[in-house]
Amino acid sequence: MSYTGPEFPPPQPERRPGRSRRAPVVVAGALVSGALLGWLAYTAVGAFGGGPDARPDRTGAAAVTHSSAPASHSPAAHSSASPSPSSSVDDGKGTDAGTPASGPLRGRVVVIDPGHNPGNARHTAEINRQVDIGTGHKECDTTGTETDDGYPEASFTLDLAHRLRTLLQQQGATVELTHDTGTRAWGPCVDERARIGNEAHADAAISLHADGSAPGNRGFHVILPAAVHAGAADTRPIAAASRRLGASIAGSFVRVTGEPPANYLGGGTGLVTRGDLGGLNLSTVPKVFIECGNMRDAADAARLTSGSWRQQAAEGISEGIVAFLRES
């Protein structure tokens, strides 16, 4: 999701020409975080040699449980994510799961925010509108990045959201998406994305992304909210819980997927703290972002475009959320 926009600082000179990228971020936490421990343990057993499809494929995800649409749009019939570039593997399609199953997360609410929207590029005036993020004003939303072969970040995040939703529903959680295929022509804006989680009284919220950094920069990172107190933003009550959520997700993500922590920020922990993201600044519930890999790096792109690896990513994120909620 790296480019100039509401969630990202201006592009850096060393990045790929013609495509702006995210500015350096503030490193979060000590090197003894759960993410680093998971990385060290995984490295010790040589798990990263398995490649993106090392684990078997699994069933894809169901349709959205809840969604939010602007007043001018009536929610359409819920449908699956955009087709996977790897059509021979699970593409995350499914049908409405209805009432959450009985399970350890019965009564818990999780909000999943698929980053960007495939229609944003067709609605530049709308997504360029300025919104208040507490520490200032930024654009409503942005278009997202893509792989060199043209697989959009917005398609990736919707597919991953569907898979993650099904896994959490199987644990008994009530799951709400901020938007889904067919429910929004564009957006929602970053302030509304935060508001959806707040109004749902989510026990945990996560925004799904993939980065657009320079080739050679690879690996995942989880973005934690800084302790922001400005204007409408006050993350102080959720900062500690969000850090626990992020560390839990980072540890399980590296273990399940084999994706290493980012080698270009975060100090090898897989954790980064930022105070410039509207989706975090305006949240009143524990919330993190995850950048699952770098779409502009060939090794990461091979994983991100694999349906079976996206299922692993959903499993890693789900396990981190489940662990956090069972300890909360």
| Contacts of residue 141, Cβ cutoff 8 Å, sequence gap at least 6 | 5, 6, 116, 117, 120, 127, 186, 187, 188, 189, 190
Picking from 40, 34, 42, 36, the residue whose alpha carbon sits closest to that of residue 269 is 36
Partners of 208 in beta bridges:
114, 290
Q: Quote the CA–CA distance of 56 and 208 in Å, as a whole number.
A: 23
C-beta neighbour count of 116 within 10 angstroms: 29
- Residue 229 backbone phi and psi in degrees, to 5: -140, 95
Count Cβ atoms within 10 A of the Cβ of residue 17 and give its class: 0-12 exposed, 13-18 middle, 19 or more buried: exposed
DSSP 91-118: --------SPPSSTTTT-EEEEEE-S-T
Q: Quote the CA–CA distance of 313 and 249 in Å, as a whole number.
A: 10
| Contacts of residue 72, Cβ cutoff 8 Å, sequence gap at least 6 | none
Residue 176 designated active-site = no
Partners of 206 in beta bridges:
112, 288
- For residue 312, give both structure tokens: 């692993």
Longest dimension (CA), the chain: 54
Helix (H) or strand (E) holding 177: strand 174-177
Name the H helices within the chain. 34-44, 124-127, 153-170, 190-199, 236-257, 278-281, 298-304, 307-327
User: Annotated catalytic residue: which of 153, 259, 291, 319?
Assistant: 291
Q: Which residues are catalytic?
A: 291
